[in-house]
A and B are shown apart, each in its own frame.
Chain A
Amino acid sequence: MATTDVAQHVREYELPRWLSDNLALFLVLPGLFFFLSFVAIPLVYLIGLSFTDAALSTMFQDAPGLWGTVFGEADFVGFANYAELLSDSQFYRSFGITWLFVATSVVGKVLLGVGIAMVLTHHWVRGKRLMRALVILPMGLPNIFTITIWRGAFSSAQFGLANQLLAFFGIGPIAWFSDRWLAFFTYNVTEMWLAYPFLVIITVSALQNVPTELHEAAKVDGAGFLSRFQHVTMPAIKRPVMFASILTAAASFQQFLIPFIFNRGGPARANELVLLYGYREAFEFREFGEGSAIMLTAVAIIGLFMIVAATKGDLAEGAH
């Protein structure tokens, strides 16, 4: 057999070009399918559930047919769940308090994070690196630990950290979780403590990119602290901090553990953030259909956050 024949032979058995070019896709697909099967399948199922009157008593019963296998004895009710949500005052209360929480906690987190970062990069402060290493410790702590600890700190008993602090000023013990706005305040404090390390890391790395000459030059020109902050520091940290705020706003919107562990969104359902609202509707009041409708509304808003993050931020920088 001549050499040309062999080459011809090999070529004929080559994979189609589009396939050989994309062979590496098969290394990614298992992981992708694995992941998507726990996001896409539940999502489709959630959409289906939101159109049924599924409750604990009907959902897990065996019923004939494909519908019966998937949804049990639950019936198709069309948009009834959504209509019910729109007439449910708890729905508006939950969304109202969730957006209020997003607003207050993001402002708090950004102010605290940027403030700490500015102190711990200031040229007067000695031992900055050690302090920075220490101050981001909360990031390594499990959320469940941090939140249960803060629950203890805001305990209504006298030994609670917050009440001991108040006792120092001569104010009597306070039942933090029994008042709507006090409970809301404790959520904010805890969320700030959970999230500030993230903002400190981002702000510190942005601040370190500011050349010290710029500050020196501004000082020589007689600029005070405020005008230096406005004209030198702000432009340098604006973009990263903006982007971090979007991410941390999304995190606030999806906060579940704090209200769940503190007082289950109480008192009297006043502080049920949206994910907790859907969770309780499904798992405590056994209305799986309505819970699914709430969760889908939340998913739609998380999707909006994703679009905002993708268009406003530098997400693509990581995907090169």
Chain B
Amino acid sequence: MSLLSAIAAQIRDDLKAIPEAVADWYHKSRYKLDLYRRGKIGFPQLVAPVVSSLGALVLVAGLMFPVYWIALAALSGEGASLYSSSGFRVVPDGFNPLLLVTEGDLWMGMDLSAFVWVIGDVVIPSLRVSIPFTDLSVVTSETTLFRAADYGVENPSDFTTYAWNSLTVAIPTVIMAMIVIVPASYALSRREFLMRKKVLYGYILFTQVGGGLGLAMLIAVFAIFAGLDLTNSKFALAVYYAAMAVPFNTWLLKTFMDSIPPSYEEAAVMDGAPPWRVVWEIILPLSKAGLAAVFIFVFLAGWMEFIVAQTVLRPENYTLPVGLFALIDEYSVPWARFSAFALTFAAPVMFVYLFAQRYIESGLSFGGMEG
């Protein structure tokens, strides 16, 4: 749970940073204003920070605009309004913060039906639990937590099916990859052996330059899969993802383990601990953060991969990215629903990825990441 608490601490820090930045800005501005009044600096020096900060804000807003645009589209309900040429809006249709106060409407009048369409019905299936040593069994009834039809949405999307497929691909990927990554990164970090540098170098080279190599091999991989009758197999896909995840994540975990001071191990060895105990009781617990990050990166690799999945899988096994792509060519799907689908897929990934990224960076001085 240290990962969760670290994330909570980071969110706290981030939220604290916003008022701090405002306060800092206020103080500096007052200081500048004071200097200007006393004639120490001229008018250009007074307004330069204001103008350039505003310019930077405009730049950042411009860069982020496509994301905002998609969020806007997703919140426009049935999306009919976006097909019309009514021009541009800065806030979603019907958005009115006053509704929060007057009607207690938490969503302030925004239309969430596109998201309802994405999620669909939320149902806890009926479970049959046998009580051991007796013939009795308990059957729970099916519970519907949320019914899309109640909100006027018929035929919800296949999002949950796709998500389930993605999950059943990503979990075996993580398990297989971790089994080979953890021992290898320990050896690369702490031991000296033949070809050590060459292996490491090859991994880094593949990670940074060879992103498309897997794609170039796709014809052969597909032919091999087809020859072994493994197309449309989620497990075969997971094996492939796990293999492709080895170079980057071994290197990442190795870099992380490098930052653990060797004095801990030396102390344990002096006390007579055998090598496996040093690994089990010192290295692994101390590299928990690195393990968590590698876990996340491997999981996301399986969760987000598109090209191979699209080539190999058939519709009943589509993962989320393939499902997203299948939507875009269906012109019957309104843009609002497509946006909501895309956002529901991407937003959690983005938060998890960025937190993993910062979690690593805060955990160590990350040498070699940029080079």
Residues of A within 8 A of B (CB): 21-25, 27-28, 30-32, 34-35, 37-39, 41-43, 45-46, 49, 54, 59-60, 116, 119-120, 122, 124-131, 133-135, 137-145, 148-153, 157-159, 161, 164, 167-168, 193, 196, 201-202, 205, 240, 243, 247, 250-251, 253-254, 256-257, 260-261, 275, 278-279, 282-283, 288, 291-292, 295-296, 298-299, 302, 305-306, 309-310, 313-320
Contacts and interface: CB of A to CB of B under 8 A. Distances in A.
Nearest to A243: B371
A263 B201 CA distance: 37
Interface string B343-371: 00110011101100100000000011111
Nearest to B55: A119
A149 B201 contact: no
B311 interface: yes
A145 B48 contact: no
Interface string B185-201: 01110111111110111
A282 B186 CA distance: 41
A124 B65 CA distance: 24
Contact of B307 (A140, A151, A193, A257): A257
B254 to A, nearest CB: 9
Contacts of B133: none
Contacts, number: 289
Interface residues of B, number: 104
B83 interface: yes
A256 B205 CA distance: 20
Contacts of A54: 223
Contacts of B350: 137, 140-141
A219 to B, nearest CB: 13
Contacts of B257: none
B304 A144 contact: yes
A288 B338 CA distance: 34
B178 to A, nearest CB: 10
B52 A122 contact: yes
Contacts of A139: 353-354, 357
Interface stretch (B134-142, B143-151, B212-220): B212-220
Nearest to A124: B52
A173 B224 CA distance: 46
Contacts of B48: 124
B28 to A, nearest CB: 7
Contacts of B220: 41-43, 45-46, 49, 292
A204 B353 CA distance: 20
A59 B223 contact: yes
A110 B57 CA distance: 20
B219 A49 contact: yes
Interface string B139-174: 000000000000000000000000000000000000
Contact of B53 (A125, A151, A196, A314): A125
A27 B186 contact: yes
A35 B246 contact: yes
23 contacts: A25-B196, A28-B199, A39-B213, A43-B220, A45-B224, A125-B53, A129-B21, A130-B21, A133-B14, A134-B60, A137-B67, A139-B353, A140-B351, A141-B349, A159-B82, A260-B307, A261-B328, A275-B215, A288-B219, A295-B216, A296-B216, A299-B217, A317-B368
